[in-house]
Chains A and B, each alone.
Chain A
Amino acid sequence: MLQTRVIPTLLLKNRGLYKGEEFKKHRYIGDPINTIKIFNDKEVDEIIVLDIGSDLRPDFDYLQTITKEAFMPMCYGGGIQTLSDAQKLFYIGFEKISVNTLFFKNRIVVKEIIDTFGSQSVVLSIDVKKNIFGKYQVYSNCGKKKQKESLEKILEEAKEIGVGEILLTSIGHEGKMKGFALDLVQKVQNSINVPFIIHGGAASMNDLKEARAIGADALACGSMFVFQGIHRAVLITYHSFYQKDSNE
């Protein structure tokens, strides 16, 4: 049977690893290559690397050093602008790319990447934040730019152009370690016909199980696997969905 994926998400900036809260307050936590090596040794299900450093092109030389010792599924997002960017990333060993800003800026390129490399290679990353009326609104450019289109409309269009997977991040939950946005999972799970990863807020095995139970296909976690204890000391850990939680 297909196993539920638990996916560490790593934020990259200037070749360092960072973690923040609500897409802000980024704090340096360590060396990405080292961290990814540890995750590789722990045989994680998959890894998502997102470069939040700038809107520049992917740092191909550096990314190549990351994939060298990683024998697990890897997805990269950040600064992808062209078909040839995608091609280079696949060539150096990522099998999926995640697009966010590009989807809003140039959907034709996203379609081109899908047509060339197949749906399964493109993840659409959608960042949402609740407005004062409690409605989820979509943001691009690392949470900086509000999009006019509704979440429903964007999910519809993602389906239309054939995106293979959805990574949905709740900006308000990110880094808070208070559980996933379960209302969000509930709201969208029926309108997504491809694998759907929820991201933002996970702190315990229980959080993962809850989100899975109401319809998330895979669970992405940042803080949960890099911080330990109330003071958030940096410690790289991992729990597969099927492993007993030692903290419980």
Chain B
Amino acid sequence: MSRVAIIDIGIGNIGSLANIIRKIGHEPFLIQIADDLEMYDRIILPGVGKFDAGMEILEAKKFDIMLKKLAKENRLIMGICLGMQLLFDCSEEGEKKGLGLISGNVKKFKFNDNTKVPHMGWNTITIEKKSLLTDSFVNNENRFYFVHSYHCCPKKEENILLSTFYGEKFVSAVHDNNILGVQFHPEKSHKFGMELLKNFMEKICYKPE
């Protein structure tokens, strides 16, 4: 059983995330004070809502400084949905600077046809780069639940793990060394989400410098 810190500052579906972590046999800890994060090698930053609102809470509670520090120490940090977007430099959704842990920005879906925004529902993924997060996926049948209007655009192609098609091809998972992000909600994606989270908890290891 491994431990994982879930950042609990009122910007995410903490309940379902904690439940699914327990379901796959690991131990979630809900963290409300930035200093407490230091005790964990594995951290999840969940998030729903607006980019600026998310950054404001992170800053107000000094989680931004702590996350940047722990990122440098090679701790594993995974952002989910808005949590993924907050890892980037900036977003079209807001004025504030993001955490800047992965270089690139976040753009709004813009379609000329009648493709609707938000992108909401179950969609498939294409593996762009092999990683321990998705190594166990077979037959390409994995699908995930998405709800978002903005999508991440990493500067470096090597950061792209998964892509998904909605009106256009967009990036649905990223990594940069110890930093990971998924646009979909693994905690809401049945066995597919459990498999991905299990991989995050069991296969990806913290390597202190």
Contacts and interface: CB of A to CB of B under 8 A. Distances in A.
Given A43-B190, A71-B16, A93-B16, A118 B50 contact: yes
B25 interface: no
Interface string A92-127: 111110000000000000000001111111000000
Nearest to A44: B190
A174 interface: no
A70 B15 CA distance: 11
Interface residues of B, number: 38
B116 A194 contact: yes
B14 interface: yes
A64 B19 CA distance: 11
A170 B97 CA distance: 45
A2 interface: yes
A136 to B, nearest CB: 22
B19 A71 contact: yes
Given A2-B119, A3-B143, A95-B147, A71 B194 contact: yes
Interface in B1-45: 10, 12-16, 19-20, 23
A118 B121 contact: no
Interface in A182-206: 193-195
Interface in A10-57: 40, 43, 45-46
A223 B28 CA distance: 38
A218 to B, nearest CB: 7
Main secondary structure of the interface of B (DSSP, over half): mixed
Contacts, number: 110
A44 B190 CA distance: 9
Contact of A71 (B124, B148, B190): B190
Given A71-B20, A117-B48, A3 B13 contact: no
B206 interface: no
Contacts of A72: 145, 188-190
A164 B120 contact: yes
Interface in B126-157: 143, 145, 147-149
Contact of B120 (A68, A70, A74, A165): A165
Interface string B173-209: 0000000000001011111011000000000000000
B190 A121 contact: no
A227 interface: no
A91 B15 contact: yes
A193 B116 contact: yes
Nearest to A115: B50
B165 A1 contact: yes
A72 B13 CA distance: 12
Nearest to B187: A71
A40 B187 CA distance: 13
A218 B122 CA distance: 11
A195 B116 contact: yes
B152 to A, nearest CB: 16
24 contacts: A1-B165, A1-B166, A2-B121, A3-B143, A4-B121, A64-B15, A67-B15, A71-B23, A72-B145, A72-B188, A74-B188, A90-B13, A95-B48, A115-B53, A117-B49, A120-B148, A120-B149, A121-B49, A121-B147, A194-B117, A195-B116, A195-B118, A217-B116, A218-B121
Given A2-B166, A4-B121, A95-B13, 17 more contacts: A2-B121, A3-B123, A3-B143, A45-B121, A46-B121, A46-B145, A69-B19, A71-B194, A87-B10, A90-B48, A95-B16, A116-B49, A117-B48, A120-B147, A165-B118, A193-B116, A194-B117
Interface of B: 10, 12-16, 19-20, 23, 48-50, 53, 82, 116-124, 143, 145, 147-149, 165-166, 185, 187-191, 193-194
